[in-house]
Amino acid sequence: MLSLRKLFGKDEKFYDLLEASADEVLASTKLFSAYLQRGNAYTASSDLDEFIQSRQKNKQITSQITEELCKTFVTPLEREDIEALSLALYRIPKTVEKLVRRISLYPGRLPREGFIRQAELLGQAAGAVAFMVKQLRKGAKLEGVQEANEKLKYAEGEADKVMLGLIRELYVGPTDAKETMILQDLFEMTEKCIDRCRDAGNVVFQIVLKYS
């Protein structure tokens, strides 16, 4: 496969920025896992600052990418691909922050084990995305990216199973209607975070296919 750097030059700034954005994605999912591990996390709104900062960092990176696209004539990837990947990456910590805001408002008891399992799968998905983004700098070899994409699909599939199991427990358990509605919404929002990772992974995979 023709090296992207040979084709478009040695300007690394877009790779640097996309990788920084992917690192923030991974950081936000680690924060979420740590948040769930703390026993009193569910009503501690002060913990939101960490997620806000992570999302804001990613927003700054996204804005910088947009600015650099306006100033750069030749880019290492097609402009629409850079924009699509940048936006897809930003949406992940944004969705995680929104989820934590909702959790912090819930006064009831959460099914902690189920949420922790979802968080583990979210971390796996984010890790796969970060790996895939970092392969772009190396010329986007299909094999490594394809393997990471399979891991991402596996995490998404397992998360679907976990969510359905948690919802099934709500339907057959003693939970009242109001709690069922709230918890189902939280489960689905956690799944949406993983879907956001899948969206970003799809963008990377399409870029690699284009240049392979």
In a domain, 3, yes or no: no
Residue 164 sits in which domain range?
10-211
Dihedral of CA 21/22/23/29: which sign?
positive
The amino acid that residue 171 corresponds to is Y
The DSSP-derived string for 111-132 is -HHHHHHHHHHHHHHHHHHHHH
Could you tell me if 156 and 194 are in contact, meaning their C-beta atoms sit under 8 angstroms apart?
A: yes
The chain-wide mean pLDDT, for the chain, equals: 87
What share of the chain in percent tops pLDDT 70? 91
């509605």: which residue's tokens? 181
Rounded to whole angstroms, the Cα distance separating 89 from 134 reads 13
The amino acid that residue 77 corresponds to is L
For residue 212, what is the enclosing H or E element? none
């991402």: which residue's tokens? 152
pLDDT at residue 133, as a whole number: 96
> What is the pLDDT averaged over residues 75-80?
90
Is the pLDDT assigned to residue 118 strictly greater than 90? Answer: yes
In a domain, 42, yes or no: yes
pLDDT at residue 45, as a whole number: 54
| Cβ neighbours of residue 105 closer than 8 Å, sequence gap 6 or more | none
CATH number at residue 47: 1.20.58.220
In a domain, 5, yes or no: no
Q: Dig out the tokens for 110 from the structure.
A: 């959460």
In a domain, 141, yes or no: yes
Is the pLDDT assigned to residue 187 strictly greater than 50? Answer: yes
pLDDT at residue 21, as a whole number: 97
Count of domains for the chain:
1
> What is the pLDDT averaged over residues 98-127?
90
What share of the chain in percent tops pLDDT 90? 62
The amino acid that residue 25 corresponds to is V
């940048």: which residue's tokens? 86
Could you tell me if 47 and 80 are in contact, meaning their C-beta atoms sit under 8 angstroms apart?
A: no
In a domain, 4, yes or no: no
* pTM, rounded to two decimals: 0.88
- For the segment 137-186, what is each residue's pLDDT rounded down to a tens digit? 887 678 889 999 999 999 999 999 999 999 998 888 887 888 889 999 99
């009242």: which residue's tokens? 176
Q: Which of 114, 121, 110, 111 has the alpha carbon at shortest distance from 192?
A: 121
Q: What is the DSSP letter of 38?
A: S
Could you tell me if 177 and 139 are in contact, meaning their C-beta atoms sit under 8 angstroms apart?
A: no
Q: Dig out the tokens for 132 from the structure.
A: 């895939």
Rounded to whole angstroms, the Cα distance separating 1 from 189 reads 39
- For the segment 2-37, what is each residue's pLDDT rounded down to a tens digit? 444 444 445 689 999 999 999 999 999 999 999 988
| Predicted confidence band of residue 124 (pLDDT cuts 50, 70, 90) | very high
pLDDT at residue 8, as a whole number: 44
pLDDT at residue 74, as a whole number: 85
Is the pLDDT assigned to residue 44 strictly greater than 80? Answer: no
- For the segment 51-62, what is each residue's pLDDT rounded down to a tens digit? 989 999 999 999
Cα 24–chain centre separation: 9
- For the segment 84-95, what is each residue's pLDDT rounded down to a tens digit? 999 999 999 999
